[in-house]
Amino acid sequence: MTKNTLIVGASGGIGRAVLENIKQSKKQEDVIYVASRKHLSIEDDSVISKQLDYSERSIKSLVSQIDNDKIKLDEVYICTGVLHDFEQQLSTLKPEKRLEDINVEAFERYFHINTIIPSLWLKYLVNTVSKNGSTIGIISARVGSISDNRLGGWYGYRSSKAALNMVIKTAAVEYARRASKTCLISYHPGTVDTGLSKPFQANVKPEKLFTAEFTAERFVNVCRTSNPEQSPRYVDYDGNAIPW
């Protein structure tokens, strides 16, 4: 059976590794759509790469292209998200340590990137996922758990991931009616050695700092072993449930 996949955020540490993982197991007739803000040159005819800015118009346009190609998606991996922008010369996004650090513009950016963009994918994909069974895995984070919050801090990131979880839970109710064989997954990858976690790795034990390749393998495996009856799942890299 053919397996059609969409990977969003394919230039990022985890997104790129998910693409490599999917490519390894793909059959000739399978189609992989890849979305990124960057232009990616991928030498593989069955990979359709689309550069987009994650505006609503660009998301709608890519999903329309998939519809026009008469493709239904079996697996979707949404790997976008932001914690800081330290790589930029004029960095404005920094996880808050205390209430006084809360900044309106930064808070809005966290919500736009971490909550609103994945919500738009859920909005446009509802009629494009396969009705025979499909999975949409969205990378959230354990810090988005309201009941698991002991450490505090990171107001914007934490809240944007908690809001993302709420969107996933709410969308699951509607997907159960409109695309009943779809499993929605809010996924925690652990601490992964990518640009996002780089500035915060100092206190992470080496065995708890995962490679992107290991992470992709676990993420794909959790998505492939989930079923619609479990939707929505909030799970970690071991497949263990996280309390919402």
Residue ranges that bind ligand NAP, judged by CB under 6 A: 9-15, 36-38, 54, 79-83, 113, 139, 141, 189, 191-192, 194-197
Q: Where do the H-state alpha helices sit in the chain?
A: 13-25, 56-68, 104-111, 117-125, 155-178, 212-224
Tokens of 87: 């790589």
Q: How far is the CB of 57 from ligand NAP (least distance, A)?
A: 15
Q: Which is nearer to ligand NAP, 48 or 130 (CB)?
A: 48
Q: How far is the CB of 193 from ligand NAP (least distance, A)?
A: 7
* Residues constituting the chain: 244
Distance of CA 69 to the CA centre of its chain: 24
**Residue 116 DSSP code:** I
Q: How far is the CB of 48 from ligand NAP (least distance, A)?
A: 15
Q: What does the alpha-carbon distance between residue 133 and residue 182 come to, in Å, rounded to a whole number?
A: 6
Q: Which is nearer to ligand NAP, 130 or 157 (CB)?
A: 157
Q: Which is nearer to ligand NAP, 36 or 165 (CB)?
A: 36
Q: Which is nearer to ligand NAP, 73 or 83 (CB)?
A: 83
Q: How far is the CB of 14 from ligand NAP (least distance, A)?
A: 3
Radius of gyration of the chain (CA): 17
Residue nearest to ligand NAP (CB): 81
Residue 70 CB coordination number (10 Å): 6
